[in-house]
Chains A and B, each alone.
Chain A
Amino acid sequence: MKKVIYILSVAILVLSCKSENKTSDEAEELTVYTHRHYESDQDLFKQFEKETNIKLNIVNASADELIQKMSLEGEQSPADVLITVDAGRLYRAKSQNLLQPISSQLIDSIVPTHLKDEDSQWVGLTKRARVIAYSKEEVDPTKLSTYEELTSEQWQEDILVRSSSNIYNQSLLASMIANNDKAFAEKWAQGVVDNMARAPKGNDRDQVKAVANNEGQLAIVNTYYIGKLLNSEDENEVKAGESVTIFFPNQETTGTHINVSGIGVAKYSPNKENAIKFIEFLLKEEAQNIFAGSNYEYPVNPNVEPTGILKEWGDFKEDKLSLNELGKNNKEAVIIFDKVGWK
């Protein structure tokens, strides 16, 4: 019993110290609502605090929850910036009137037009490409060409892909709707479902492991997961990563589908200037290199050359479709997924 009281009092002490810190601290602050929780980000945040003396309050949750929280908090919201892992969520935050235009020449000059909001309410921080990872042993890469071709008969029971609840799949289908039309997108989704090796389950890494395990030949995944597998501490993950090669689809047509992890300034941001400083910091070459180096995402800053594994994968033609379209067509995409039975 005594021990319990001991532990408890220490715990309460820790908690109370924390809350005291909070009240006595009147220094400059910035509250970051973020869906990203990578170690690279934490290093970057620490570096920002050191460089600028601005204290960061980090709220980590899924973008949907953060958006809901911001809209409930309204004018009282402490949020300064919102970071998401896809463009669709930023589009939603914007359409719920939760963001404000970012005015910074530096930011404008760095980020290419198709990677930001048409009214500058949000900008991309890193790019993610959704590609086909094919089995080194079983697949002849000359047979691969486009996303559309995945529905052809030669890939029957070969395709591995995660659930349609996942935003990356929704964005991919949304891009199909935007580049073509609904009917085309529905036919494509139906074709993929017909060629699936198994019902969708697990995450992107699990799809690659399933290729390694010979459950299917082709996995639709984001590139950085392959990077993470290859650099995993788990030897089985490394083995799984080595069993596949990346293929960038649609090189002759629209280009490979990309999405961004992006950032917007909250409408009622109490520290707007700091928010802009923060975004500029994240877009500068140093930070962009860290994103690319430790998280294997593509930099949005065109002056930053991909290095390491990104360089090995080589250059590719990306779909220049404005990312706003992904947000606009997201809901339609989900409805199509439900219709064709893509779980």
Chain B
Amino acid sequence: MIIIALISIPILTIGFKLFGGPGESWSHILEYVLVDYLQNSLLLALFCTLMVVLFGVTTAWLVSRFEFPFRKQLEWLLILPLAVPAYIMAYAYAGIFGYSGLFSKVAEAIGMNNFSIDMMNIYGLSFVLSISLFPYVYVSCRTFFLAQATNLLEASRMLGISEFKSFFKLIFPLARPAVIAGLVLVMMEVLNDYGAASYYGVSTFTTGIFRSWFSLGEPETAIYLSAILLIIVFALILFEKWQRRHLKFSASKTSKQNYNSRLKPKFINQIGFSFICFIPVLLGFILPVLQLIIWTKQTFSKVWTLDFVVVTLESFGIAFITALVTVLVALLLLFFTKWNKIEWLKSSSKLGILGYAIPGIIIAIGVLIPSLYLDKWLIENNITSKLILNATLIALVYAYVVRFLAVAYQPLESSSLKIDRSLSDSSKVLGKGNFRTFFKIEFPLIRTGLLSAFILVFIDILKELPLTLIMKPYDVNTLAVKAFEYASDEMVSSAALPSLLIILTALVPAIFLNKLLLKNASDT
């Protein structure tokens, strides 16, 4: 209850602001730009959905169902694009396809002079966002395929249904919660993106929010715009829940894994599969990182200082602590609503995960207002002498939790949906309390989901920018902030080193996540 209240406060603060009405330029926005914002955002969402599902589901299915060369390596390589922040990806691709970039050099070398591809438009933006976000869908689908798809596929194979047919008839519909869980995260990131969209000159809802706030100087109008965005996101979530209302997703009771059950197709197909899985890795990781390495080589001596080691450690520490807190909060939220079958509590817990859809900057304001209020109250009552929440780690962590709760909540929810309800029910019938049941039965079953949640949040925090900029304590710095400082000075090549460090720091947990998925699968 308290948690829900704490998480909801910033969002409600924003909500109350709505009653103040929009600023005076609202009619101007309606007349000239709103259609443009809506159109671009929806197109972007559509393109990204298509590409993300294509990349994410295909690769997840291939690596968990078939045996082919380099499968094990590709399994974890496919998570890596997640380590590249979308705005960095956008800069890197603009560099690759831009003036005298890698692409034009390659084109020249093979005799195609003056052939160029323009990345900086809505299609390029969709591509950049999709290629950096598809691992969300990949991870959640793969968790699903590893956990329960095998038995079903075995059964359908025995019935003589071809592998591809059963994929479309059986696995794809069943994997829907997993696909959607990943996709919801992707959509929220896409709708939230500011850095990449503004650089590529695509006016979306979020760039519109920034524009009306900062260029028109009307925070009220900005909050109005983000409320519309929120309603759209909320409608999407409700629609999805409504769609699957009749479907139950309990796993078969004997979800035993049999690792020898991976199919071995013909060799030529195997090569094909390796190749297919390699493409997203190449586009989402190897190419952009290559570009970053080229830039780093030019700027290393200037950018690399002892400070950087400290900043790296600080980023790591902040991300670790916050990810821990976020997962804990998500867990409490999930089980609290599960135990208490009160409808309004359930729906209000949904409010909590909305934070992810709100631009980080607006969350920051939502957190600043109440925490400053509390700070002022404390000072007035002589409990403290200066601001203890504002610009401290406490406020920063709090804001992060509000913002990233959904990232932790989604994998936890989808993994807890797989727990056969009769398991926890029987534990309760045997007289064990909620907590006991949780630790003995549910916790071990959702361990994988728990760690996926932790790692996803961890990586997200490493990359987070707008909220960090405004909430961080003066003497703490993160790599994302460093990268941004260089990039916003139009020194993209100097931003390469901190970007590479973000990627490297995020690599460790990404690889760890993969090991865990494997271990967990072979344990059960």
| Selected interface stretch from B142-150, B229-237, B467-475 | B467-475
Is B161 part of the binding interface, using a Cβ–Cβ cutoff of 8 Å? no
**14 other A-B residue contacts (CB within 8 Å) besides A60-B469, A78-B391, A334-B215:** A7-B313, A8-B316, A11-B316, A14-B314, A59-B474, A68-B365, A76-B390, A165-B211, A200-B201, A201-B201, A202-B94, A228-B490, A236-B99, A338-B32
Chain B residues closer than 8 Å to A8, beta-carbon distance: 316-317, 320
Is A21 positioned at the interface, with any CB of B under 8 Å from its CB?
yes
Q: Which residues in window 14-42 of A have CB below 8 A to B?
A: 14-15, 18-19, 21-22, 31, 37-38
Give the interface SS of chain A, mostly helix, strand, loop or mixed.
helix
Q: Which of A12, A18, A61, A74 contacts B476 (CB 8 A)?
A: A18
CB pair B493 A65 closer than 8 Å: no
Count of chain B residues with Cβ under 8 Å from any Cβ of A?
69
Max chain A CB contacts within 10 Å: which of B94, B203, B313, B361?
A: B313
The one of A61, A203, A237 in contact with B469, judged by C-beta atoms closer than 8 angstroms, is: A61
Which stretch, B69-77, B174-182, B329-337, B367-375, touches the partner chain A?
B367-375
B23 closest partner in A (C-beta) = A331
Most buried by B among A57, A64, A225: A64
Say yes or no: is A69 at the interface (Cβ < 8 Å to chain B): yes
**B441 at interface (Cβ–Cβ under 8 A)?**
no
List of 7 A-B pairs having minimum Cβ-Cβ separation, nearest first = A201-B201, A11-B317, A236-B100, A209-B99, A64-B214, A233-B298, A37-B485
**Are B28 and A335 in touch, CB under 8 angstroms?**
yes
Given known contacts A59-B474, A76-B376, A165-B210, A202 and B33 CB-to-CB distance under 8 angstroms: no
Q: What 0/1 readout, one digit per residue, does chain A (207-241) give for beta carbons within 8 Å of chain B?
A: 00110110000000000010010001110110110
Is B372 within 8 A of A15, CB to CB?
A: no
- Expressed in whole angstroms, the minimum distance between the Cβ of B501 and any Cβ of chain A is 14
**B contact patch SS:** helix
Cβ–Cβ contact B201 & A15, under 8 A? no
B279: Cβ under 8 A from any A Cβ:
no
**Across the interface, which residues of A come within 8 angstroms of B217, CB to CB?**
92, 330-331
The reply to whether B120 and A11 contact each other, CB–CB distance below 8 Å, is no
Chain A residues, Cβ within 8 Å of B364 = 65
The answer to whether B47 has its CB under 8 Å from any CB of chain A is no
Q: Are B490 and A203 in contact (CB under 8 A)?
A: yes
- B-contacting residues, A161-183, CB 8 Å: 162-163, 165, 167, 170
**B213 at the A interface (CB under 8 A):** yes
State whether the Cβ of B106 lies closer than 8 Å to any Cβ in chain A. Answer: no
Residue of B nearest to A18 (CB): B475
Cross-chain contact of B25 among A38, A72, A331 (Cβ < 8 A): A331
Given the interface pairs A37-B485, A234-B298, the reply to whether A239 lies near B314 with Cβ below 8 Å is no
Tell me the bound Cα distance from A8 to B470 in angstroms: 25
B491 within 8 A of A: yes
**CA–CA, A240 and B101, complex, Å:** 12
Contacts of B386 in A (CB 8 A): 76
Interface 1/0s, chain B 176-215, versus A by CB < 8 A?
A: 0000000000000000000000111101000100110111
**B423 cross-chain contacts in A, Cβ below 8 A:** none
Tell me the chain B residues, 116-135 only, with Cβ under 8 Å from chain A. Answer: 116, 120-121
CB <8 Å contact, B393 and A343: no
A210/B317 contact (C-beta < 8 A), A58-B474, A205-B490 known = no
A236 to chain B, nearest CB (A): 4
Q: Are B295 and A234 in contact (CB under 8 A)?
A: yes
The answer, yes or no, to whether B489 is at the interface (CB within 8 Å) is yes
Residue from B211, B310, B474 in contact with A14 in the complex, judged by beta carbons closer than 8 Å: B310
Which residues of B have CB within 8 Å of A334? 211, 215-216
Q: Which residues of B contact A232 (CB under 8 A)?
A: 493
Between-chain CB contacts (< 8 Å), 26 pairs: A7-B313, A15-B314, A15-B317, A15-B393, A18-B473, A22-B475, A61-B470, A65-B361, A76-B386, A165-B207, A165-B210, A170-B215, A200-B201, A201-B201, A202-B120, A202-B200, A202-B201, A209-B98, A213-B98, A232-B493, A233-B302, A234-B493, A236-B101, A331-B216, A334-B215, A343-B201
Asked if A62 lies at the interface with its beta carbon under 8 angstroms from chain B, I say: yes
Report which B residues bind A (CB closer than 8 A): 25, 28-29, 32-33, 94, 98-101, 116, 120-121, 198-201, 203, 207, 210-211, 213-217, 219, 295, 298-299, 302, 310, 313-314, 316-318, 320-321, 361, 364-365, 368-369, 372, 375-376, 379, 386-387, 390-391, 393, 466, 469-470, 473-476, 481, 485, 488-491, 493, 508, 512
The answer on a CB contact under 8 Å between B198 and A163 is yes
Note all chain B residues with C-beta closer than 8 A to A205: 490
Q: Is the CB of B393 within 8 A of A10?
A: no
B493 with A60: CB separation less than 8 A: no
Contacts of A163 in B (CB 8 A): 198, 201
Complex: how many Å from CA A334 to CA B469?
25
Contacts of B368 in A (CB 8 A): 69, 72
The answer to whether B199 and A202 touch across the interface, beta carbons within 8 angstroms, is yes
A225: contacting residue among B387, B481, B485, B490, CB under 8 A = B490
Chain A positions within 8 Å of B469 at CB level? 60-62, 65
- Give chain A nearest CB distance to B224 CB in angstroms: 16
Give the number of chain A interface residues (Cβ < 8 Å). Answer: 65
Cβ of A339 under 8 Å from chain B: yes
Residue of B nearest to A21 (CB): B475
Report Cα–Cα, A194/B212, bound state, in Å: 24
Say yes or no: A199-B99 contact (C-beta < 8 A), given A14-B310, A72-B365, A170-B215. no
CA gap between A76 and B491 in the complex, in Å:
35
Q: Which chain B positions have C-beta within 8 A of A239?
A: 100
Our pick among A12, A31, A76, A212 for the contact of B99 (Cβ within 8 Å) is A212
A204 CB–B CB distance under 8 Å: yes
CB of A206 closer than 8 Å to a CB of B = yes
Which residues does chain A contribute within 8 Å of B32, judged by CB atoms? 338-339
A7 in contact with B201 (CB, 8 Å): no
Q: Are A15 and B476 in contact (CB under 8 A)?
A: yes
Contact for A31 among B98, B120, B121, B474, CB less than 8 A: B474
Interfacial chain A residues near B310, Cβ < 8 Å:
14
CA distance A232 to B490 in the complex (A): 11
Q: Are B372 and A72 in contact (CB under 8 A)?
A: yes
B32 nearest CB neighbor, chain A only: A338
**B201 contacts which chain A residues (CB < 8 A)?**
162-163, 199-202, 343
Q: Given the known A-B contacts A11-B314, A209-B99, are A37 and B28 also in contact in the complex, defined by CB atoms under 8 Å?
A: no
Across the interface, do B207 and A73 meet the contact criterion of CB distance under 8 Å? no
Taken together as a complex, chains A and B put the C-alpha atoms of A12 and B319 apart, in Å, by 11
Q: Assess the B99–A210 pair: CB atoms within 8 A.
A: yes
Which residues of the other chain, A, contact B116 by a CB distance below 8 angstroms? Answer: 213
Chain B nearest CB, measured from A296 CB (Å): 12
Residue of chain B at shortest CB distance from A9: B317
The residues of A that contact B29 with a CB separation of less than 8 Å are 338
Chain B residues within an 8 Å CB radius of A11: 313-314, 316-317, 320
Identify the interface centre among B33, B201, B219, B390: most chain A CB within 10 Å of its CB.
B201
Least Cβ–Cβ distance between B504 and chain A, in angstroms: 12
Interchain CA distance A333-B145 in the complex, whole Å = 54
| Closest partner residue, chain B, to A335 (CB atom) | B28
* Contact A65/B302 with A14-B313, A240-B99 known, Cβ cut-off 8 Å: no
Name the residue of chain A whose CB is nearest to the CB of B508.
A4
Distance (whole angstroms) from the CB of B319 to the closest CB of chain A: 9
